[in-house]
């Protein structure tokens, strides 16, 4: 992208927004939830039109899967209406809106990695709101949807950090009870730093409107991901498999939502490389 590009980045403080911010050339305007409520159409319009962006990187979202199951309208207000407000704010311009979506728009019954043309069929409220967000984005002539999955980094609330904290606690207290982690959900864990670099590279190559899949290469279960974290941490903690039914979460989860692409676009490295990069940062004692 040109160094004159004006980037409007939503979701400041989040894993992906923070990773993107450090990679962008040009002028960058970053919004945070406490400064800009995406549900407020007038406020969104004022902020966007005052900055006059060339590209909107829309990473802000309601991402609490179980919370959305209990309060779908709250999730919809952010994910759907918030996206609509951004689109409305750029009307009359040629600004590209890049919106980030999820593997949870699929039902997990395909039995093979999903590509861009596969038919969505979300099982839960969160997935429904993200699919509706995609449709809002694609209704804009310059709308781009990037689907990713199982995002993690060295900051923020995410599965890798949660597992590391739990394993450290067990090791310190010498608790013999294993960590019990779901083993019958398969996906494509994605390091936010790798995703951000891939997105910037793809946009630099002229990524246009449409749907694109960008996720860590390969696939694993949550249990396998947890075992990778514990092994890299060198902790004497057992990770034992449980089923989705045993986990008993409010929102139904799809069984297999690994993502791959049918398009000639850059892709993040394999999920193991992402975990290794994050663990190097989390375990750095310097």
Distance CA 218, CA 149 (A): 12
CB 82 within 8 A of CB 99: no
The reply to whether 126 belongs to the active site is: yes
Q: Which of 62, 104, 114, 126 is catalytic?
A: 126
Percent of the chain as helix, strand, coil, to the nearest 5:
40, 20, 40
Distance CA 138, CA 271 (A): 28
CB 275 within 8 A of CB 233: no
Q: Within the chain, where are the H helices? A: 15-21, 41-51, 65-70, 72-76, 82-90, 125-138, 159-173, 192-204, 222-233, 244-247, 271-282
CB 279 within 8 A of CB 229: yes
Distance CA 241, CA 179 (A): 8
DSSP character string of 94-140? --EEEEEEEGGGS-S-SSS-B-TTSPP--SSHHHHHHHHHHHHHHTS
What SS3 class is residue 19?
Answer: helix
Q: Which of 14, 21, 15 minimizes the C-alpha distance to 38?
A: 14
Distance CA 64, CA 87 (A): 23
Task: Return the residue matching tokens 């609330």.
Answer: 157
Catalytic residue numbers read 126
């Amino acid at each position: 992208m040109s160094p004159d590009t004006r980037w409007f980045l939503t979701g400041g403080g989040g894993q992906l927004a923070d990773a993107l911010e450090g990679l962008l050339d040009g002028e960058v305007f970053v919004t945070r939830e406490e400064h800009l409520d995406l549900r407020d159409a007038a406020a969104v319009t004022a902020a966007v039109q005052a900055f006059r962006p060339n590209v909107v990187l829309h990473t802000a979202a309601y991402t609490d899967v179980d919370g959305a199951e209990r309060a779908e309208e709250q999730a919809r207000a952010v994910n759907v209406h918030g996206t609509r407000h951004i689109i409305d704010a750029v009307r009359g311009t040629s600004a590209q809106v890049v919106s980030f979506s999820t593997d949870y728009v699929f039902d997990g019954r395909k039995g093979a990695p999903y590509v861009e043309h596969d038919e969505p069929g979300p099982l839960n409220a969160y997935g429904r709101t993200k699919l509706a967000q995609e449709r809002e984005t694609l209704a804009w002539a310059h709308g781009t949807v990037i689907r990713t999955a199982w995002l993690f980094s060295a900051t923020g609330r995410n599965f890798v950090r949660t597992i590391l904290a739990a394993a450290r606690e067990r090791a310190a207290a010498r608790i013999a009870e294993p960590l019990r982690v779901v083993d019958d959900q398969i996906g494509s864990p994605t390091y936010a730093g790798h995703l951000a670099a891939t997105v910037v590279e793809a946009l630099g190559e002229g990524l246009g409107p449409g749907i694109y899949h960008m996720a860590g290469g390969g696939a694993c279960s949550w249990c396998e991901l947890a075992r990778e974290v514990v092994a890299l941490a060198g902790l004497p903690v057992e990770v034992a498999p449980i089923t989705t039914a045993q986990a008993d979460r409010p929102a139904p989860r799809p069984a297999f939502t690994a993502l791959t692409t049918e398009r000639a676009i850059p892709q993040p490295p394999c999920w193991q490389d992402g975990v290794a990069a994050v663990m190097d940062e989390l375990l750095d004692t310097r």
